[in-house]
Amino acid sequence: MRSGFGRWLGHSVLASAMVVGAGGATVVLATPLTPFRNEAQAQRHCPGDKVVWLDFRKSVYYRKGQKLYGRGFDGSFVCLSEARDSLYRSSPFGLR
């Protein structure tokens, strides 16, 4: 079984290697994810953005205040804009 980081690396490569073509191939690169193990590090990396907990196994992110925010072994703290740009979706469940 892959670790959370290994799974992230696979998803990141997939997201950044999307090819769109009409006659010729154009490579579209997504914003790379920068995962952090604690919330303070992530907030320093993206001071003008919100920090979310990204669950790599479920391909969703949780906002602060949601039940699963910061929980689990297959996730990391990332910037909200990076999570959205990498095509992760928001979890509507677990709001307190």
- For residue 20, what are the CA distances in angstroms to 14, 25, 26, 28, 87? 13, 6, 6, 7, 16
Report the predicted TM-score, pTM, of the whole model to 2 decimal places.
Answer: 0.67
Any domain includes 16: yes
pLDDT at 72: 87
The parent domain of residue 25 ranges over 4-90
Q: How many domains does the chain have?
A: 1
Any domain includes 80: yes
Rounded Cα gap, residues 37 and 12, in angstroms: 17
Instruction: Give the containing element (helix H, strand E) for 84.
Output: helix 80-85
Place of tokens 């010729």: 24
Any domain includes 14: yes
pLDDT at 12: 46
Any domain includes 95: no
Any domain includes 44: yes
Paired residues of 20 in beta bridges: 26
Q: pLDDT (tens digit, 9 = 90+) per residue, 41-83?
A: 999 999 999 999 999 999 999 999 999 999 988 999 999 999 9
